[in-house]
Each structure stands twice: as C-alpha cells, then as structure tokens.
Chains A and B, each alone.
Chain A
C-alpha cells in the first residue's frame, strides 16, 4: 500500500503537468490564430480562449 500511494502521489504530479501542457498549448494555439487573424484584419486586440 505504501508503494501504491507513493506511485499515485508521483502520478498526480505528472497529471498536473499534463493538464498544464494541454491547457497552455490549447490557449496559446488560440493566441496564435487570433494574432494571425489580427494581422490580416489590422485590429489591435481580439478575443481568445475557450470561454469567449
């Protein structure tokens, strides 16, 4: 049980790292898309993000 809990605690941190990667990558992908659309339309700031 001690071994299992040790592994689970480590894996929890790995999960948090994966969450960070997926979330940040998704957000930045939108930033890049918005930036591209911006430069095409000449606007200063655009919406971006999953909830917009």
Chain B
C-alpha cells in the first residue's frame, strides 16, 4: 500500500469518526437541518468554502490553466469570490432572519405558495444531483489515480466517504467536517505552491519562462492560448467576465451556499463569514492557478486535469504530496456531503412530508430520504451513462439563471408576486436546461449571446416581470416580505455592529494587497520578459 493511499485512508477515517461522534448529539430536526442555528463564524466560513471549492476547482480549473487559460480562470475566480460580499448583504442575512429549514421553504413562506416551494425543491434536487455526480466523479478520478483500483470500486469508496456521516450526522456533522476539510485544503494549497515554484526555477524565472512559452503560447498572457477556447483575446475575456458574474450569482444565491447562512448564530456571523470566505476562496484559487501554470513549465504534455495529481506525486516531498492529495480529496468529499444533505433535506422537507409530528420519526424519515437519494447518485455514478457529462456542466449555472434574480427580488422588490416568481424560476430553469442539453448533445457552438446562462436568465427575468404584471401582490405576500425587514433586537448590539462594520477595512486592505501582488508578482515580470524577448 503506498503512502498516498495510507494518508487518504487515515483522513477518511478521521472524517467518519468525527461525523459519528457529532451525529450522536443530533436530537431533533432543527439540529439535523440547521445545526441548531448556533454555528460561529469559523464553521460557516469552513462550510461555505469547502462546499464551494470541489475537485472541479482543484482538478478542473487547474487543468484549464495548465492548458493555456490562466487569465480567464483568474478573472472568473476573483469575480465569483466577490459574490459572497454582495450575496450576504442582499440575500443571505434575510433568509437567516426568515428562520426556515431549507431555501425552498423560504420561497414557499415568502410567496405564501406551496407550488413555488415544490418547484424550488425539484430544481434543487435536479441541479444538485448533477453537481453531486460531478463531485463524486472527481473524487473517483483521484482515488483511481492514487490507488490504481478499478473505476467502479473507487466510485463506491467515494460514495461511502461522504454518505455515511452525512446521513447520520446531518448539518452539524457536515459543518464540522467541512471546516476540517477546508483547513486541510487551505494548508495543501498554501504549502504546495512553494514546492512547485522551486521546481519551476523560482517565481520570477517561472513567470518569465511562461511569458515566452513555446509549448503553450500565451498561457499567462491576457488573451490566453488562442487555440484553447475562443480565437480572440476579446472573446476570451468576455467569456471570463460573463462566467465570473454567473458564478458570483451562484455564490450569492445557490442553495449549497446560502443554506449555510441558515445555520449561523446571528446575522453578524453571516456578514463576517462572507468577508472571510471571499478572501479564503481568492487565496486558495489564486495559489492553485499559479501552481498549475508553473506545472506547465515543469512538465508540459500532461492531460490538464491530471496536472495537480502529477505534481503531488512527482514534484513535492512525499509528506507534502500526501497533504495535497488529501486536500484535493477533502475538497471533493466536503462538497459531496453538503450536496447530499441538501438534496435529502429538500426531498423530505419540501416535496414529501412526514405524517408524524414526533421528532424522532421525522428525523428517521429525513435520514431514509437521504439514503434513497444517495443510492440514486451511486447508481448514476456507477453505471456512468453518457448523459452524466452534460448534466455535470448544467449543475452550477442553473441556479444562477433560475434562482438568482428571484432570490434578490424576493427581498428587494415590492412588485414581485408568487406568479411572477414561479414563472421566472420555471422558465429560467427550462431555458438553461434545454439550451445546455441541446449544445452538449448536438456539439453545436452557438454565439455567446445564446449561451444557456443568457437564455435562462433572460427567460427568468421576463417570466418574473410578465407574471407580476398580470397579478397583484396578496396581503399575505406583502406581510411576509415586511417580516424580512423586522430586525431582531439581538442584532442591534453596538459592539457587534462595530466589529461587523469594521471588517470592510480588512477586505479593502486585502483588495489592495491582491492588486499589488498581481502587479509585482505577475504583470511586471511578464512585461519585462516580453520586452527582453523583443515581443
């Protein structure tokens, strides 16, 4: 048994043990779904980041950077991370105030409508199952690379890795294990980059070498490698900014992010967590993107998504490589556990309901529901039908299209009615789903304006406007919206307000430091290398 596998197995055992220990403390639905609404900043930050960054970031995004798209992916990474700041202030704190158990329940309560609650529940299940499949296959890919075991055996190990403790321990287990896993992959990203940089010949020589790279021309230029995505730099930047906004909307409104705020102990925790989560995502992703570019200089010719795995096993000291691989695995498992819990919660809280009012029976009903969902995901991942691939790409953007505008308007619009919200969500979902399915299955590349995101969000906004114009806001809807603006007395503590307010200084300082880092560590050495090469 190799040391990488031993490290991975030890980490899995620790997560299982912690999940089992925490699960014993779950007594009722409030504990199981929202961790008793008592989570402090560290747990919310841990879960926000761990559920957002999955194997997609560690293997997929780094693969795109390695293949020649550094600047595009960096732009997406920075814009998406700012979604925490906008989302927590415009939406997150208000859903915390609504005291619901799930986000679909929030929609049902806010619009006084069972139909929209069910629709939100169904979109949650479809979108998140797709994303869960993606996370499961990422973990499987990693496991099979490390162990050399058959794909199907690795699927079962991957499935077991997040299913057991999630079903038993619910949200408290997910929060704690997410935070532990966040620490592991934060450490992995931070300690991996010096090793990779040294192997690439040092920071500035590596940047200068990549600037004039002949194997992947333009890999770290503003336009990226023009053979990779679009043939012009302008189109590549347009794509990056668009998808940065899409993923900022996902961060701001998707159920796997906003549901973390339901567990926060107060609204100050929501806002502070958003600031720290945003900075943590930028630190981790930026470290990964530079690492992936440097790996291209060290060893060209790899398959993109194998770059980080190859570096962990070939460039670093064994102990650091083990930490990096367990970190990547942790990123996948933490997302898997959050996704599974959300799908299970939606199934048992928003679509089917337990007839019993006994807390123990309702808890057992929720756990059974989650177990059934987990078996469906296992079957899909195990048999791996061809349709799984396009479903994975669909998982993230569907929430930006169908939920994004409705989430924000549910708080800030006095005119949005239940009919407008319902049709907006449904049309946004269908527009995204159908366009994504058409382009993925037919292989047709449409102009960017017909991207599934644009079609979906246009239909969502149109549906919301037309539906609201044809109907009136009912007194119940009006009352529910007004309730969102009733500030609990505990939120008005002066000391807490000062602390929360003061965090803007931390974020501003971080923004300026990031600017200086990019200019000094990337733009200037890049320009010097180009000037020296006479380009």
- Contact status A9-B482, CB under 8 Å: no
B508 lies within 8 A of chain A by Cβ: yes
Could you say which of B29-37, B455-463, B483-491 contacts chain A?
Answer: B483-491
C-alpha gap A32/B412 in the complex (Å):
21
Residues of chain B within 8 A (CB-CB) of A14 are 508, 511-512, 515
| A34-B487, A45-B488 as given contacts; A24 in contact with B523, CB under 8 Å | no
A-B CB contacts (within 8 Å), total count: 136
Contact indicator A31/B497 (Cβ below 8 Å): yes
Set of chain A residues within 8 Å of B508, measured between Cβ atoms: 14, 17-18, 21
Query: Which of B86, B510, B515 sits near A9, CB closer than 8 Å?
Result: B515
Within 8 A of B (CB), among A1-16: 1-7, 9-14, 16
Query: What class of interface size applies to chain A in its complex with B?
Result: 35 or more
How far apart sit A10 and B510, CA to CA, in the bound complex (Å)? 9
Could you give, for residues 33-52 of chain A, a 1 whenever the CB lies within 8 Å of some chain B CB and a 0 otherwise? Answer: 01100100000111111011
| Residue pair A17, B507 in contact (C-beta under 8 Å) | yes
Q: B75's contact among A9, A19, A32, A45, by CB below 8 Å, is which?
A: A9
CB distance from A5 to the nearest CB of B (A): 5
**Does B376 have its Cβ within 8 Å of any Cβ on chain A?**
no
Asked if B238 is at the interface of the complex by the 8 Å CB criterion, the answer is no
The answer to whether A6 touches B522, judged by C-beta atoms less than 8 angstroms apart, is: yes
Number of interface residues of B (CB under 8 A): 53
Q: Answer whether residue B500 sits at the interface, using C-beta atoms and an 8 A cutoff.
A: yes
Provide the main secondary structure of the chain A interface. helix
- Nearest residue in B to A43 (C-beta to C-beta)? B489
Q: B282 — nearest CB in chain A belongs to which residue? A: A13
Q: Is B78's CB under 8 angstroms from A31's CB?
A: no
Residues of A with C-beta under 8 A to B511: 10-14, 16-17
- Quick check: B523 and A2 within 8 Å, CB to CB? yes
Given contacts A14-B512, A20-B85, contact A34 B485 (CB under 8 A): no
Are B527 and A2 interface neighbours, CB within 8 A?
yes
Which residues does chain B contribute within 8 Å of A47, judged by CB atoms?
A: 482, 485-487
Given A6-B519, A12-B82, 17 further pairs, Cβ under 8 A? A2-B222, A2-B523, A3-B524, A5-B222, A5-B237, A5-B523, A7-B515, A9-B518, A10-B516, A12-B78, A12-B79, A20-B271, A21-B504, A25-B501, A31-B492, A32-B497, A48-B485
**Interface of A with B (CB < 8 Å)?**
1-7, 9-14, 16-21, 23-25, 27-28, 31-32, 34-35, 38, 44-49, 51-52
Report 8 cross-chain contacts, Cβ distance below 8 Å, ordered by A residue: A2-B522, A5-B523, A9-B78, A13-B82, A16-B507, A18-B508, A48-B486, A49-B485
